Amino acid sequence: MHGYEIETPDNRRHAPEDASPQSAPADGPMKPALARDAAVQPGLRARLMLWLLVPLALFVTMAVITGYDNARRTADRLQDKLLLSSARMIAGEVDWSDGAPVADVPPAALEIFESPYRDSVFYKVEAGNGRLLGGRPDLPAPPAPPTEADGPVFYHASLADMPVRAVAYRRLLYDAGRSVPVTVIVAKTEGSRCAMLDELWRPQLVVGSLMLLLVAVLVPLGLRFELEPLMKLKDEVAGREPMQLEPMCAQGLPRELQPIVDAINQCIAQLKLHSEAQRQFIADAAHQLRTPLALLDAQLQYARRVDENAAARDAALVGACRSTRKLTEMTNQLLMMAQAESTPQPALTEMDLGAVLASALEERLAAAQQRNIDLGAEIGDGLWVKGNAELLMALVSNLIDNAIRYTQTGGRVTVVAKREADRIVSRVMDNGPGIPDDIRERVFERFVRGFASTEGTGLGLPIAREIARRHGGDVRLATGVDGQGVTATVILPASRGQGAGDEAAADRR
């Protein structure tokens, strides 16, 4: 059997270690995997920065745009107010002289524009049908003439290639029953307005930019500082020896990391349990193998020594054969145990448990006949389960084997299997000596045996239970029919396979 090779010391030295991280150099196969992951996903720090900086930049941009708009409106309102005041003052000073209106521009009307920005101020006073009373004649007219009803007209214009803001204001001049409309236009360059806009808006721009800059500098620093415990945790996990199974210390870690440490510790605890169980199993298995090996050695040496005595030599060789049989049985059971345990989810196929039982019974028929045991079966049709054929065969074989092995010569062993609701229930019943109550559960432990005089390994029932549980079922032992012998019951979930529900029992006795 090729499985034996796995157990040779040479193989043991090389094969498993090749796969274990212990044999790999410290920077071995784990590091490239980490590097690959890092290449796929941007770092946590970069992502947090994006989450912070992008919304903040949007917010600052919007605040600056709104601030600019408000500042512009305030500057415009102030400037327009000054222009209108000036125009009203000038219009207020237009009076009759010799039957005609005359404009006398008061200095205050122009002085109100005084500022460090030295804006140029222009005016024009027109009476009635466009007669110029004073000021610059080339001052551009408003897009629509002002009226007393609609009030002054404010507008942008250009004078001598200079952009100007202007107001056109109109009033009616009365005298002895006649009235003359007077239009005053005042315009000024926009130096002070632009300066005011800057003064109102610049500070907001500076504050916003500073805020962005501060966040861009401080957040990475803060993240670096705050992520340090996580990095330490990573180093501690990565730097662990494969068999370092002490729980990790969560002291000093932020609250959010506590569940991660708990989960890691839970995993470590399970690993520890598993590794302890494995270690114990290997120690027990070695112990169990050592006894028949030592016996075999002694028997062979004895056979050599009693070379002349044919009867003694034959007896020694028969004993040696028994030892090798026991070794083979033990090795097979160990391999089956390993197979049952290592298959995480056995490759499941739809199968009829009845067929598995029938072939297991056929295999044991000779052994039963040899001991004059009445081996019978009542196996229903369509006992569909989802399972691994090899493992299920080992499961039922172990139970039938036990029943035949421990039942006295001339006894009776019956296998009954049927569908009960959504379960397939198989019972292996014998009328042998039974199992005392106090060890009925203990016989499911590895290497626990009840009958020292009978050959066996103490692995049959643990294997059977392991396989049943892996298939979502269980194995139970109970006192047999009429309080005699043992009934071993296997319960497996029924699958919806073809023929499910067909409970017509076919007696295969």
Ligand X SMILES: Nc1ncnc2c1ncn2[C@@H]1O[C@H](COP(=O)(O)OP(=O)(O)O)[C@@H](O)[C@H]1O
Whether the Cβ atoms of residue 171 and residue 91 lie closer than 8 Å to each other: yes
CB 432, min distance to ligand X, A: 5
- Contacted by 451, from Mg ion, ligand X, none: CB < 5 to 8 Å by type: ligand X
In whole angstroms, what is the distance from residue 176 CA to residue 67 CA? Answer: 53
Among the residue ranges 251-259, 401-409, 417-425, 485-493, the one whose residues contact Mg ion (CB under 5 A): 401-409
Nearer to ligand X among residue 190 and residue 430 (C-beta): 430
CB 340, min distance to ligand X, A: 13
Q: Cβ–Cβ contacts within 10 Å for residue 372, how many? A: 10
CB 464, min distance to Mg ion, A: 8
Among the residue ranges 130-138, 225-233, 270-278, 395-403, the one whose residues contact ligand X (CB under 6 A): 395-403
CB within 8 Å of 457: residues ≥ 6 apart: 288, 326, 329, 330, 333, 447, 449
- Contacted by 323, from ligand X, Mg ion, none: CB < 5 to 8 Å by type: none
Nearer to ligand X among residue 127 and residue 443 (C-beta): 443
- Contacted by 88, from Mg ion, ligand X, none: CB < 5 to 8 Å by type: none
- Contacted by 435, from Mg ion, ligand X, none: CB < 5 to 8 Å by type: ligand X
In whole angstroms, what is the distance from residue 438 CA to residue 106 CA? Answer: 124
CB 342, min distance to ligand X, A: 19
**What angle do the packed helices 389-406 and 460-470 form, to 10 degrees?**
150
**Residue 453 CB burial class (10 angstroms; 0-12, 13-18, ≥19):** exposed
One-letter amino acid at 317 equals L
CB 426, min distance to ligand X, A: 14
- Contacted by 103, from Mg ion, ligand X, none: CB < 5 to 8 Å by type: none
- Contacted by 336, from ligand X, Mg ion, none: CB < 5 to 8 Å by type: none
String of DSSP letters for 475-487: EEEEE-GGG-SEE
Nearer to ligand X among residue 101 and residue 485 (C-beta): 485
CB 290, min distance to ligand X, A: 17
| Residue 155, both tokens | 């507008």
Nearer to ligand X among residue 171 and residue 446 (C-beta): 446
| Phi and psi torsions of 372, nearest 5° | 55, 40
| Phi and psi torsions of 411, nearest 5° | -80, -165
In whole angstroms, what is the distance from residue 271 CA to residue 258 CA? Answer: 20
- Contacted by 486, from ligand X, Mg ion, none: CB < 5 to 8 Å by type: ligand X
Residue at shortest CB range from Mg ion: 460
- Please, which of residues 297-316 interact with ligand X by CB under 6 A? none
- Please, which of residues 471-490 interact with ligand X by CB under 6 A? 486
Q: Does 460 bind Mg ion (CB under 5 A)?
A: yes
Nearer to ligand X among residue 350 and residue 390 (C-beta): 390
Strands of 141-213 (E only): list them.
153-159, 162-175, 178-189
Nearer to ligand X among residue 386 and residue 440 (C-beta): 440
- Please, which of residues 366-385 interact with Mg ion by CB under 5 A? none
Nearer to ligand X among residue 166 and residue 413 (C-beta): 413
Q: Write b or e for each residue in 313-350: b if 16 or more Cβ atoms lie within 10 A of its Cβ, otherwise e.
A: beebeebbeebeebbebbbbbbebbbbbbeeeebebee
Nearer to ligand X among residue 449 and residue 508 (C-beta): 449
In whole angstroms, what is the distance from residue 278 CA to residue 291 CA? Answer: 20
Q: Cβ–Cβ contacts within 10 Å for residue 403, how many? A: 28
Nearer to ligand X among residue 183 and residue 398 (C-beta): 398
- Please, which of residues 398-457 interact with ligand X by CB under 6 A? 398, 402-403, 406, 430, 432-435, 443, 449-451, 456-457
Q: Collapsing DSSP states into helix, strand and coil, what is residue 96? A: strand
Residue with tokens 């009934």: 487
CB within 8 Å of 216: residues ≥ 6 apart: 49, 53
Q: Does 402 bind Mg ion (CB under 5 A)?
A: yes
- Contacted by 450, from ligand X, Mg ion, none: CB < 5 to 8 Å by type: ligand X
- Contacted by 184, from ligand X, Mg ion, none: CB < 5 to 8 Å by type: none
Among the residue ranges 2-10, 146-154, 169-177, 453-461, the one whose residues contact Mg ion (CB under 5 A): 453-461
Q: Collapsing DSSP states into helix, strand and coil, what is residue 186? A: strand
CB within 8 Å of 286: residues ≥ 6 apart: none
HSE (side-chain half, CA atoms, 13 Å) at 412: 8
Total interface residues for ligand X by CB under 6 A:
20
Residue at shortest CB range from ligand X: 450
CB 280, min distance to ligand X, A: 17
CB 296, min distance to ligand X, A: 19
In whole angstroms, what is the distance from residue 130 CA to residue 112 CA? Answer: 27
Whether the Cβ atoms of residue 356 and residue 391 lie closer than 8 Å to each other: no
Q: Collapsing DSSP states into helix, strand and coil, what is residue 208? A: helix
Q: Does 397 bind ligand X (CB under 6 A)?
A: no
Nearer to ligand X among residue 394 and residue 435 (C-beta): 435
In whole angstroms, what is the distance from residue 413 CA to residue 360 CA? Answer: 13
Among the residue ranges 178-186, 266-274, 281-289, 402-410, the one whose residues contact Mg ion (CB under 5 A): 402-410
Which residues of this chain interact with Mg ion, rule CB under 5 A?
A: 402, 460
Which residues of this chain interact with ligand X, rule CB under 6 A?
A: 398, 402-403, 406, 430, 432-435, 443, 449-451, 456-461, 486
